[in-house]
């Protein structure tokens, strides 16, 4: 059986494709997990953790206040309805999901921005 032909790359000797470029030292530190690279990654992780705790607090505080709001509603007449739906269901339905989706989108945008900043910083260093 014949052996398959080997692929050969033909390039001009003066092009960058002929020889790979020297990687940035900071990028190499991150990829090789040197102590300096670990400092870079830990800084990114601390930033992401700080953001996660901030978003968690911003979501949990209003959600923790919901029982107090509903307890205050218990003193109201039982027939309070908006658009044919009881007030507690409206309070639990619409604003909670709007809060969760908004917090998730904000978290995603900020986390991606932190990662972009990290990559730019590593490539600049």
Give residue-wise pLDDT tens across range 13-67.
666 554 555 567 777 777 777 888 888 889 999 999 999 999 999 999 988 888 7
DSSP state of 22: P
pLDDT of amino acid 1:
63
Q: Is the pTM of this model over 0.85?
A: no
Structure tokens at 99: 């809060």
| 86 DSSP β-pair partners | 81
Beta strand extents in 1-125 (DSSP E only): 81-82, 85-86
pLDDT of amino acid 35:
83
CA 101 to chain centre: 13
Per DSSP, the three-state class of 61 is helix
DSSP state of 15: S
Please state, in angstroms and rounded to a whole number, the distance separating the CA atoms of residues 89 and 24: 56
Give 100 or 15, the one with higher predicted confidence.
100
Whether the pLDDT of residue 74 is over 70: the answer is no
> What is the residue-averaged pLDDT of the chain?
80
Among 69, 49, 46, smallest CA distance to 57 is for 49
């Amino acid at each position: 059986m014949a052996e398959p032909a080997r692929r050969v790359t033909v390039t001009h000797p003066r092009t960058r494709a002929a020889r790979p470029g020297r990687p940035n030292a900071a990028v190499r530190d991150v990829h090789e997990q040197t102590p300096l690279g670990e400092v870079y990654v830990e800084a990114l992780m601390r930033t992401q953790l700080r953001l996660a705790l901030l978003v968690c607090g911003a979501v949990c505080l209003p959600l923790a206040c919901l029982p107090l709001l509903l307890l205050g509603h218990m003193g109201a007449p039982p027939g309070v309805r908006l658009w044919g739906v009881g007030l507690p269901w409206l309070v639990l339905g619409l604003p909670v999901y709007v809060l969760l989706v908004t917090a998730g989108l904000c978290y995603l945008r900020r986390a991606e921005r932190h990662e972009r900043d990290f990559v730019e910083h590593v490539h600049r260093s």
